[in-house]
Copies of this chain bind each other. A is one copy, B any other.
C-alpha cells in the first residue's frame, strides 16, 4: 500500500458525480463549487486527484463516451444498416431521457454557447462528435456494400442526416420531450431511409 494518508473518497464515484454536473450544466456552467459539492470533496482534493477543471472535464468526457454514449455500444453490429441506425437513435433517445441522468447529450450540451475561455474543450467535443459521425458513416458504407442500401447512396449525406436527427433528439430531450415522444420522432425519421433495390 502507498504510504501517506489514504484518500477518503472513491475517485471513480467522484468522477461519476462530476460527469452529472457537467452533463446538466455544461463545461462553463458547472462551477468548482457545484462540482465539489456534488462530488462530496474539498477543492484541494479535487485538484490533487484530477488536475484542474479542464482535466476533470476531459476525464468525465471519456467516461461519458465509453460508459454511456451509444457510439460506444454495439449499434454497428446490428445485421442491417437500417436496424443499426435505428438502434443508434433509440439508444440516444434512451440516454437523453434517462430518469437518473441529466437530460440531453453531453456532446451537444457543451458544443454550443461557450465563451472564449474553453477553446480546447470545444475542440475536444467537436472531435468526439466527429468520431460519432465517422462511426455512422462507416456503418452506412457497410450497408451499401452489404446491399441493404442502394449502390448510389451518398453515405456522407445519409450519415450526416442521422447525426442531425441525433442532435435534434438531444436538444428536444433537454427541452423536456418525453421518451415516447422521442421514439415516435425516430419512427418518422426512419421513414426517410432509402429502400433497398
- Nearest chain B residue, comparing its CB with the CB of A165: B168
Contact partner, A157, options B108, B164, B188, Cβ 8 Å? B188
Q: How far is the CA of A69 from the CA of B147 in the complex (A)?
A: 41
Known: A29-B28, A126-B176. Contact between A108 and B191, CB under 8 A?
Answer: no
Query: Residue A124 at the B interface, CB < 8 A?
Result: no
Does B192 contact A191, Cβ atoms closer than 8 Å?
yes
* Nearest CB on B from A87, distance (A): 18
Does A115 contact B188, Cβ atoms closer than 8 Å?
no
- Nearest chain B residue, comparing its CB with the CB of A25: B115
Contact partner, A110, options B113, B185, B189, Cβ 8 Å? B113
Most chain B Cβ neighbours within 10 Å, of A31, A112, A116:
A112
- The interface residues of chain B lying within 8 Å CB-to-CB of A32 are none
- Nearest chain B residue, comparing its CB with the CB of A108: B171
Question: Which residues of A come within 8 Å of B, CB atoms?
Answer: 25-31, 104, 108-116, 126, 129, 154, 157-158, 160-161, 163-172, 174-177, 181, 184-185, 188-192
**12 residue pairs bridging A and B, Cβ less than 8 Å apart:** A25-B116, A30-B115, A31-B115, A108-B112, A111-B175, A154-B184, A160-B184, A164-B165, A164-B185, A164-B189, A189-B192, A190-B192
